[in-house]
Each structure stands twice: as structure tokens, then as C-alpha cells.
Amino acid sequence: MTTDGTGVSVAIIGGGIGGLTAALSLLRRGIDAHVYERAAELSEVGAGVQISPNASRVLHGLGLADELARTGVKPVALHQRRWDDGRTLARTPLAGPLEAAFGFPHYLMHRADLLAALAARLPADRVRLDHRLTALTDHGDRVEARFANGARVEAGVLVGADGIHSATRGLLFGPERPRFTGCAAYRGLVPADRLKGLGLETTTQLWMGPGGHFVHYFVAGGRLVNFVAIKEQDTWTRESWTDRRDVAEALAAFEGWHPQVRAIMEAVDETYLWALFDRAPLRRWSAGRVTLLGDACHAMLPFMAQGAAMAVEDAATLASCLAAAGPGPEVEAALRRYEAARVPRTTRVHALSAAGKTRYHLPDGPEQRARDAELAGGAGGLSLDALAWIYGHDATA
């Protein structure tokens, strides 16, 4: 790791993608950083994650290019299709054209592969497991964090990268419950060998239909196919956000959809039903020497595939801001700069992600036909030109 002698120390709460990227980014800039994860081991819930060029730019800079190339998959296109007859609504080239336009690849990955790649770059003593944050005190010149295991830690800055259920956020701004978005997702992973008969392309395929949509793509170096099947429902009353469900239930929810959609679901050994929650984006992320990152401050629907990418961007921008500050009063000003740089962008992506729920789930009829005509004409919000403000962003600048 390089050093530049800033003298700032940072305690990061949460060992997910955002937290580990923050630790690596800070260490690269010579900033003393440690991660405190509540679980007994580093793990990621979920399966697939999309790493677009705005995020791969950061990860390549952290030395992960070879590992991303080994475990990730570069999709040749985003293929948007109709739910019942499979008709192509739009096909956006990715891979070569996208990399030429923005300088970095787009990867489809298993979340566990990305987390492992990040963890492998960190010295082992930088990650402390079984540390659940219970209290924090900002003493003005330092922050003290207290954990359920009795440990106490002091640092110049504390960063809450602890997800949508963020304990840091609760301690900083008070309790607030995430809101159910009216959508639930069946998720699954299928060995690619089982689906050879379908002749699947190496694309991200997005099938849009009444009240739901279906996404599938290769992950794990092409060995697995990840799918996410999202349907609208009025309420969520279960205690868990994630329930193991019978595959027959998922198939019933997608009755009448294209045979390829149903064949992928039929091939899975098990599926999980996830409630999709979000929060209203915060206008303020920081107080004193404490700030937030990722889902802790801007949890969003997955319809723009930018949740992980925004956390990676947060991490890079935070490291840039802190690297320009010394250990004294400049730290709080650096956190304000970080917040000012990130809030407008993440709020805009949050709004676009929320709008996808309506756009992807239109019932067959005039609005759906107008949407499809717009897509056929090269518009519709998912073209490379329309996404340039997202994909071309350099969060390290």
C-alpha cells in the first residue's frame, strides 16, 4: 500500500462491498483504515451484481483488474424483451463499444466473488469480525465506537457502511424504518450446463411484462446463470426479508411468460423470495466526524443496477476528500465536501431506479405500446448515450 502521511485514521463499520472498497481506497492513499464487521465471517447475501464502468474504473485502480476478468463476465449487450413472445424491444451494445466509450469494462459477477477479491487485497489485520456497533461518541477531535463484544475503538473518522439496516445511521440521525416498495424478487442461481439447450447469449436479458420483470445473466466466469424475477405485491408481512420458497410458487407467479423465462426458473434447485425495500435518500450524510456510505444513506431499487456501483463510487470519493485533509479541523470540511459531491448524484440515480418500477411493469395497452415504440426508436433511458453521465463518471477525481 502507498502512503502519503495524512495522519487521519478511519474506522469503517460494515464489511460489505462498500466498506471493503473504502478501506482499500483509503489505504491506497496512506490513510490508516480498519473495518469492523458485525458477522463472524465476511459474506454477501444475494447472488448477481453488475459492475458498470464507473465502478470498474475504481476497482481496477485498486488492483482488481485480473481478478474481475477471471470471475466476471463481460456482457455483449443489454437485451430488452417482451414478456410473452420474447420479441426484442431494444438491444444496447456493451462489451467492446461500452469499453471504448468509457475506458473500462462492464462486469456481471457473483457478489461473493467480488467480496472475496476485495478482501484478498486487504491485510488480514485490517478487518475485525464479530464487532456489532452499539454506541458512538464524537469527542470533537476523534470518534469513539463501542461494540457488543465489549471492544472500544477510537478513530479520527467513523464511516457507516453498514447497509440499509445501518446502526450508524440510527445512532447519528435517529431510527427510521426502511419502506417496502411494493415489489418482491425471486432469486436463484442455475448451473449453466443445465441451460445449454437454450443457447443463451452472453447478454443481460431484461424481460418486461405486466406487474413484473425478469432479468438473467451469466456470473462466476460463465459457470452459473443468475436470475432475478420481480413481481409486484401489496404488502410484506414476513419477519424476514429473505425466505426460501418453492420453485413451483415462482413459476406460478410467472404463468404465461416466455418458455425461456420459465425454463431458467425450472432448472434452479432452490429459490429465495426477497422483499425489496428502500429509504428516502438522505440530504445529509455527515455529523461532525461521522459519515455514511452506500445503502446506509441511499438504499435504492435495483432497476438501474447501480446500488453496488454507487457504494464503490462513494468509497473512492471519500478517500479523495480525506486524502486532501489533515488530521485536524480539516477532516469535518472534507466530509462536507464528500457529502456535497455525492448527494446530488446518488439522489438522481435513486429516482431513476424508482421510476423503473413503473416503466418495466406496464400492463399491456397504450402506455406499454408507447414505451415499446420509444425503445425501438433507440430511446428509453438505457442507451449508452443516455447512460453516459453514469458510466463516464470518475469518482476518484
Active-site position among 186, 217, 338, 391: 217
Residues 6+ apart with CB under 8 A from 149: 130, 131, 132
Active site residue 217: yes
> What are the backbone dihedrals phi and psi of residue 331, each rounded to the nearest 5 degrees, phi first?
-60, -45
**Which residues are known to be catalytic?**
217
